[in-house]
Chains A and B, each alone.
Chain A
Amino acid sequence: MAKAFKYGLKGITGHLEPAERELLRGLIDDVVSMLEPSQAADQDPLAALVGLDMDVRQPTDRALLRLLPNVMKDDDAGSLEFRQLTERSLRESKIGALRAAAMGLDRKELTLTQDEAKLWSMALNDIRLVLAERLDIRDEADADHVHAMQDWSQAEDVESYLALVYNFTTWLQESLVQSMMAAMDRR
């Protein structure tokens, strides 16, 4: 059974069962594969090197758009221009956090430094954002509705299963953030 993250003498520690680790690995893989840039064959290597991507477009997938939002509310052209300059590195930093969390899952002891904990919290947040889009969580009422699903015996279809997974990652992230706050207080 998973234990909530806590901050103590050994730092930030948690405990996850093999099946829970497997679940998180799967979620991480899913989000990483969404974020991996589709590499165009005719990509200018120098542009790629400095992180430019002139072929980039606003994502059509809502979940991906939530991970990589427009930087200006009412200026699509300005947002696209900014995207060309920054999206590639944003994708890479998100993938980096997700991979760091995946590596942590391979360790027997779940003891995290503050830096690792931060990467984990970013990774869990992106996982939750994607799950929330798939669950169609648009407002607080939707969120409450999903949150009410707490019993795994209720998992009878994909949606209820996703809701339970979402609540599990929410619980995990909340305990992690509380631990990071506690660690920050004692610096």
Chain B
Amino acid sequence: MTTTVATAIGVDVEERTETSEQSSTAVLAAPDIPWNLVVWNDPVNLMSYVSFVFQSYFGYPEAKANKLMLEVHRKGRSIVAYGAKEQVEQHAVAMHSYGLWATVEKASSAGTGKGGARG
């Protein structure tokens, strides 16, 4: 078993391609919305996969998905969606089913995140 797989490994390449940060308008600032969905950084999830999940599940354009992914990667967390509590909780379960580490929090307790800022 080892030798067969060894050859495959030899092919190499896990490339965590970093897509250049593209500008995307400040969609995150919205007033009067009480709950945030936060995605946290971890050393396991591939950057490409995290971006794929943001595109595939939320329907975000690639530029926005990459921006949020890079924010998770560099700042340790990012607010990727907001809304009513039930709605963000549903998003959190979806993120968990993808294997992303996500939590919900009241927008007012956002702390380091910028999503809680009022527009």
Contacts and interface: CB of A to CB of B under 8 A. Distances in A.
B98 A72 contact: no
B93 A122 contact: no
A19 B56 CA distance: 32
Interface in A82-128: 82, 86, 89-90, 93-94, 97, 118, 121-122, 125-126, 128
B5 A150 contact: no
B45 A125 contact: yes
Interface residues of A, number: 57
A167 B43 contact: no
Contacts of B13: 4, 171, 174
B26 interface: no
B117 interface: no
A73 interface: yes
A42 interface: no
Secondary structure class of chain B's binding surface, majority of residues: helix
A86 B12 contact: no
Interface string A1-29: 11110000000000001011011000000
Contacts of A137: 43-44
Interface of A: 1-4, 17, 19-20, 22-23, 66-73, 82, 86, 89-90, 93-94, 97, 118, 121-122, 125-126, 128-129, 132, 137-140, 142-143, 147, 150-153, 155, 164-165, 167-168, 170-171, 173-174, 177-178, 180-181, 184
